[in-house]
Amino acid sequence: MSKDSKTLKIVCLISLFFGLALAIISIPLYVGGHMASGTIMLVMGILALIASFRGARAANTPSTCGKATPLLGVEAAAGGVSIPLSTVAGLEAQPDILVAVCAGVLLVLGIIAAVFSNRVFQKSLDR
């Protein structure tokens, strides 16, 4: 496994953790009466879980990274959309701050994972 594949795997596993955290933290928002915000955050957390899982699996076989790159880009976009949604909602609950932090981390990790996934895929084409 190349250095870029290892980096992709590690970034995706960390992103998997933050996607799970976003999904879990969104439950108190949903139960606390903010159903729309909680539901959107839960869907985005699940989307991040799926994208991270696919990216971590794709790191094992570089030729499949081409299929994971768009999903990781969607994960970054979901993180970018989650930040304004969590802050604009004007919630005074603590989970809202945690959602914004998790979404920001997912945004950064999604961009890094998409870049490394593309890099691993391009190197597999050169072989």
pLDDT tens sequence across 15-29: 999 889 888 888 877
Residue 14 has pLDDT above 90, yes or no: yes
Which residues contact residue 98 at a Cβ distance below 8 angstroms, ignoring those fewer than 6 apart? 21, 25
User: What whole-number distance in Å separates Cα of residue 79 and Cα of residue 83?
Assistant: 7
Domain ranges of the chain: 3-126
Identity of the amino acid at 42: L
Residue 46 to residues 4, 53, 90: CA-CA distances in angstroms?
25, 11, 23
pLDDT for position 104:
84
This prediction has a pTM of 0.83
Q: What confidence tens digit (pLDDT) does each residue in 41-97 have?
A: 888 888 889 888 988 888 888 888 788 888 888 888 877 777 777 766 555 556 667
Return the pLDDT at 70.
85
Q: Of the CATH numbers 1.10.287, 1.25.40, 1.20.1050, 1.20.120, which one belongs to the domain with range 3-126?
A: 1.20.120
CB 98 within 8 A of CB 91: no
Cβ of 71: how many Cβ atoms within 10 Å? 21
CA–CA separation, 111 and 109 (whole Å):
5
Q: How many residues does the chain have?
A: 127
